[in-house]
Structure 1
Amino acid sequence: MILDTDGMKPIYVQIAEWLESEILHGNFKADEKVYSQYKLSDLYNINPATAAKGLTKLAEEGILYDKRGIGKFVSPHAKQMIMDKRKNQTLKTLIEDLVREAGYLELSEEDVIRLVREAWKGEKG
């Protein structure tokens, strides 16, 4: 992952989203220890406090849990939690933006569905 230090999204959020993606892809499994704030700070050349903030965000959401003195671990239901979160937040927002833009362009529902199907086939093809 390459951090976008010039973008609008805070670095700690990018770290949290990267860890979520790693969990979704199976690179960190349930009850497995994730990288420490120091390992993350070394990997991405960031302040350890910034990395810690990303880890804390995931812990507050229940995606990670703490083993005192050992580190943070992936919660047993983390993968499903991330999928639900992304479906209910990220995808919903993207779809709302898509529908709004389609309205500006005066596209019909059928046009939008056709475009989505084409994109789906291209992704799955």
Structure 2
Amino acid sequence: MFHTDFVATVNRAGLVGVSAGKDRATPLEIWVVAVGNRLFARSWGLSERSWYSTFLSGAHGFLECEGQRVQVSGREPLDLQTISPLIDAEYLRKYDRGENSKYARGILGQQHIQRTLEFIPLVG
């Protein structure tokens, strides 16, 4: 589980930096949502070469938010069918406003739900 302070920071932030594997020099800013002390993101671009696919290949990386960096791995949520409505609600709560509304609602589509990644903090 993530430390509650980091989860609170992610909840406040609009964008969170993510880096997967060793090929990316700077983090890519993405939307990350929290359900309890679990952190999730959905791939928007659906590209085969992305942070999402790099994590699924077993690579480690990090999340970076407001000066805090946490080493992570990523996996498809084991409980995707049951947790997905909660993730949907968090995307809408956090991002459904102004110019973001189109994307906040779009990321609730089935093709994006199938590209949901859960970040797992690495210890040590």
Q: TM-score range by the shorter chain?
A: under 0.3
- Kindly name which structure, 1 or 2, has the bigger radius of gyration based on alpha carbons: 1
- Structure with the larger RCO, 1 or 2 (CA within 8 Å, 6+ apart): 2
TM-score norm. by structure 1 comes to 0.27
TM-score norm. by structure 2 comes to 0.27
